[in-house]
Amino acid sequence: MLTETFMLPKVGQRATLLDGLLTTSNGEWVNAQGFERSSIHVVIANTATVQVRASNEVAPAASDDGGLVEAVTASAFVQLRCPARWIKAKISAHTSGAVSAFMESVP
């Protein structure tokens, strides 16, 4: 599924990529077109691997993984330093604890 109508209108706006999930998830693409940089805050309560992924496809399939930006196994900030049309967070491995991820536009 694509969240195509969502656009971050200004610096400091946030979008939820993952919201307290307790299992693996392929994630959902969020439209980030028009922003040169985004910061993704990944919060891992216990044990999981989260992959931040980006795509410049016109409309990536829900199952498409795009390109790997970074994979983290602990809470972290991931900086996207080049423009991307779509961004998602994917939980590729999960043992325990809630996992959340938020994208914020940065100057």
Q: Report d(CA 56, CA 87) in Å as an integer.
A: 9
pLDDT tens digits for range 66-85: 899 999 999 999 988 777 88
- The structure's pTM equals 0.85
pLDDT tens digits for range 16-71: 999 999 999 999 998 887 666 788 999 999 999 999 999 988 888 877 888 999 99
Amino acid at 31: N
- The order of strands in the sheet holding 47-55 is 2-3, 29-31, 86-96, 47-55, 67-72
Beta strands in 1-107 (DSSP E): 2-3, 14-21, 29-31, 38-44, 47-55, 67-72, 76-80, 86-96, 99-105
How many alpha carbons lie under 13 Å from residue 29 in its C-beta half-sphere? Answer: 23
